[in-house]
Amino acid sequence: HVLKCCQKVLAWVPVVFIALVVAWSYYAYVVELCLYSPNSYLYFIAVVYLVVFHLSFVMFVWSYWKTIFTSPASPSTEFCLSKADKEQYEKEERPESQQEILRRAAKDLPIYTTTASKAIRYCDRCQLIKPDRCHHCSACDICVLKMDHHCPWVNNCVGFSNYKFFLLFLMYSLLYCLFVAATVLQYFIKFWTNEYAKFHVLFLFFVAAMFFISILSLFSYHCWLVGKNRSTIETFRAPTFRNGPDKNGFSLGCSKNLREVFGDEKKYWLLPIFTSLGDGCNFPTRLVIMDPEQPTASSQNEPAKSSGANQSFPPRPLSESQNRLLASDSQWVESGPEEENVKSGSLHRNTSDDS
């Protein structure tokens, strides 16, 4: 218990460090640089700088705050085993029998991906069947929907509930550092011999430039992930569908992938307000390698055929937001020869499982 308390306290050290750096940068820029400008002709420029600075500062702090204090979304109770199934699962010693219990419990759930060995994804720690793209975070000790990674700099898990906030945090921190470095550069040169302002001005420039360079690569990487509709975990381990691993299984095209994270209304995209589409448990997919066993358009309301693991997946209606995502091209693929299905690029609801 004492060890866990110490770990929780130490986990806030990176956040406190960032908060102190940001607080010092505010003091250095507003007080030491703008208010203590020695030349009167710089006052007007300082006022303009202060207005832009505070806009970027507020958006940066707001998005950072939301990333830290937005609780990670966890699976709903429908993914938990019933008391009877849980007792039976714990009594069984053979993995085959345990998997049969899980298949029976998951037959009405929107689960279309499996482990690499085609088994139902189950979390023994949380005692629930994992939805697609859900993973257990050892730091938070919970299963997180569409988990991307656990970030020590925000002391939180980045997933479905706060991924948009995390992206905005990176973007506004980049703009904040870029603006500070660009506007301080001239004073960095001008104040070189000013002993009073030397430390704050010089150090502010170096810190802003250093953070800008380090954050730029991370932000670029996550922009690429959004365009591909992948999480960091899925980049290193592709989700496994009925046809096997498919790193592009959840990609709907760059535009729709972007809307899945930021929502339909562009006026809210730059605000740290939750607008992501879906429920975090259920995702429309694009099959790169089409499966000839997929249901045809005429059998859309019929149960899907069993997978290699003898699990049937009943078709589940898409949510309203997912229907908007698939808009004009959400037709089911006609069954036919495998060669024709490989060439087909139609969007449809996948009927497979994830690792």
Lowest mean pLDDT among 5-9, 153-157, 272-276: 5-9
Backbone angles phi, psi at 136, to 5 degrees: -90, 130
The reply to whether 146 falls in a domain is no
Kindly tell me if the per-residue pLDDT of 218 is higher than 60: yes
Domain boundary, last residue among 238, 255, 290: 290
From residue 287, alpha-carbon distances to 15, 333, 348 in Å are 40, 10, 8
C-alpha span between 239 and 248 (Å, rounded): 9
Question: Are 248 and 184 members of one domain?
Answer: yes
The reply to whether 245 falls in a domain is yes
Rounded to the nearest angstrom, the gap between the alpha carbon of residue 285 and the centroid of all alpha carbons in its chain is 17
Question: Are 189 and 268 members of one domain?
Answer: yes
Question: Are 195 and 264 members of one domain?
Answer: yes
Kindly tell me if the per-residue pLDDT of 269 is higher than 90: yes
Question: Are 200 and 262 members of one domain?
Answer: yes
pLDDT at 120: 94
> Per-residue b/e over 272-298, b at no fewer than 16 CB within 10 Å?
beebbbbbbbbbbbbbeebbebbbeee
Q: How many domains does the chain have?
A: 2
pLDDT at 45: 81
Question: Are 119 and 220 members of one domain?
Answer: no
Domain boundary, last residue among 290, 309, 342: 290
pLDDT at 32: 83
> pTM (2 decimals)?
0.81
C-alpha span between 22 and 320 (Å, rounded): 41
CA-nearest of 119, 121, 118 to 79 is 121
The per-residue pLDDT for range 136-167, each reduced to its tens digit, is 999 999 999 999 999 999 999 999 999 999 99
Question: Are 218 and 270 members of one domain?
Answer: yes
Kindly tell me if the per-residue pLDDT of 351 is higher than 50: no
The reply to whether 206 falls in a domain is yes
Question: Are 98 and 212 members of one domain?
Answer: no
Partners of 285 in the β-ladder: 348
Domain boundary, last residue among 252, 271, 290: 290
User: Widest CA span of the chain, in angstroms?
Assistant: 81
What are the residue numbers of the active site?
151
Q: Which residues contact 150 (CB under 8 A, 6 or more apart)?
A: 137, 138, 139, 140, 156, 157, 158
The reply to whether 11 falls in a domain is no
Provide the residue range defining the domain that includes 108.
77-130
Question: Are 90 and 185 members of one domain?
Answer: no
From residue 66, alpha-carbon distances to 24, 63, 272 in Å are 21, 5, 7
SS3 assignment for 314-352: CCCCCCHHHHHHHHHHCCCCCCCCHHHHHHCCCCECCCC
Question: Are 194 and 286 members of one domain?
Answer: yes
